[in-house]
Structure 1
Amino acid sequence: MGFKSNQSEAFQNGLKPEGDYECIITAIEERTTKKGSAGLNFTLVIRNDVQGQKYGNSCLFHTIWKKHEPNENDMQVEGYNFAQLMAMGKAAKLPDGKEYDSLKAYCTDLLNKCIRVDLTHEEWNGKEQERINFVNPTKYPECKHKFKSSAPKADSFATKQTGFATPKTNTQADSAIGSLEDFEDVLTDDGVPF
């Protein structure tokens, strides 16, 4: 079977076009950069069940950073930006007013939830990169996304990438959690906006 070249489908500079994407939250991992900045990294898979949406099964990434000067609300979520975490929960339609005994429980509740993100491009250190500007509730709450069968399972990740909340299957959340001291995975500071 042959095909016809269509260069309008090519990524520009390796970036997906700016705009709204319907996604599923598939993993949340706590990571630390070389300079010691901690962040909760969200892995979002672009849904393949939304008609007219391109790039199904591609990943987008979003980080919520631990604040240098956390306020009282931030301290409830281990120093991470409370307002940004609550915006993620609102977009994922978590019940307002629900009590959580830990950040881990909140993150576990976020797994496999559908959200809509606004993707933009920004320049950082002379490089153009993707950035999630806003998170919003999905316009397609009935999810029929089909995950790739070759997708890695949570238990297939290297031990140093222990997830803060990573699914073992499409419907179960991993109960393992690592503390900051357990993490050896180091990111460069190229993507950190401070």
Structure 2
Amino acid sequence: MSFLTTDYSNTTNNSNEPLPAGDYEFIINSVQENATNSGAESLQFDLIVRNDLDAALPETNGKQHNRHLWVNEWKRRKTNQYDLNNFMYFMKAAGIPEGTEINSIEDFFQIMNKKPVRIHIKVTTSEYNGQKRKENRPAPWDWEKTKFPEVQHQFKKSQSNPTSTDTTVDDNELPF
């Protein structure tokens, strides 16, 4: 048995180009907290362009399905807290009912996981260390409820185990 057989059918556009401008339907693949080397903290949404809407949205989802978009919501420097009003935009777009109590950041991660959302994408130019680059940085108010609540998105199979989908493991489940 060989170690590997090439099969490019599951590969996607791996360029570093941003998504073209437009309205996209996404599935929230995961939400987690991250920190930079300098200590700045953020919530990071890993969003996937839904692959079940190629016919309904041929110019956006149809051309870009399965691409990831990572959106960071940064803690404010002055307060070292998240802007909870921005969380309301995210939860409203994900269809979380009014009055839902969220008891912890972990509960927020869980309630947002695998929810469909619609996001208006713009292409902007930023500069970092003297280099300009194009990017997608949707604002919280660019998030809306999906127009396609019936989700048929097919997640890619894990390369290491083609019979299962990717799994997120909570730190509390680890033995160390």
Identify the TM-score tier after normalising by the shorter chain.
Answer: 0.7 to 0.9
After TM superposition, give the deviation of residue 29 of structure 1 in Å.
2.0
Question: Match of 1:67?
Answer: 76
Question: Match of 1:28?
Answer: 31
Which of 63, 82, 85 is matched with 2:87 structurally?
85
> After the TM superposition, which residues 1-80 of structure 1 pair with which residues of structure 2 at under 5 Å, given as runs?
14-50=17-53, 51=55, 52=58, 53=61, 54-70=63-79, 79-80=81-82
Letter matched to residue 146 of structure 1? Q
Letter matched to residue 76 of structure 2? K
> After the TM superposition, which residues 145-184 of structure 1 pair with which residues of structure 2 at under 5 Å, given as runs?
145-150=153-158, 168=167, 174-176=169-171
> After the TM superposition, which residues 57-136 of structure 1 pair with which residues of structure 2 at under 5 Å, given as runs?
57-70=66-79, 79-125=81-127, 126-133=132-139, 134-136=142-144
After TM superposition, give the deviation of residue 142 of structure 1 in Å.
0.3
Task: Work out the number of aligned pairs and report it.
Answer: 144
* TM-score using structure 1 length: 0.66
Distance 2:159 2:66 in 1: 10
Structure 1 unaligned blocks of 5 or more: 1-9, 71-77, 154-166, 178-194
Letter matched to residue 29 of structure 2? T
Question: Match of 1:141?
Answer: 149
Q: CA RMSD in A?
A: 2.5
Helix, strand or coil: the match of 2:64?
Answer: coil
Distance 1:12 1:148 in 2: 19
After TM superposition, give the deviation of residue 15 of structure 1 in Å.
2.2
Helix, strand or coil: the match of 1:150?
Answer: coil
Letter matched to residue 138 of structure 1? T
- Contact 2:126/2:135 (CA < 8 Å) preserved in 1? yes
Letter matched to residue 92 of structure 2? K
* TM-score using structure 2 length: 0.73
After TM superposition, give the deviation of residue 34 of structure 1 in Å.
2.8
Structure 2 unaligned blocks of 5 or more: 1-12
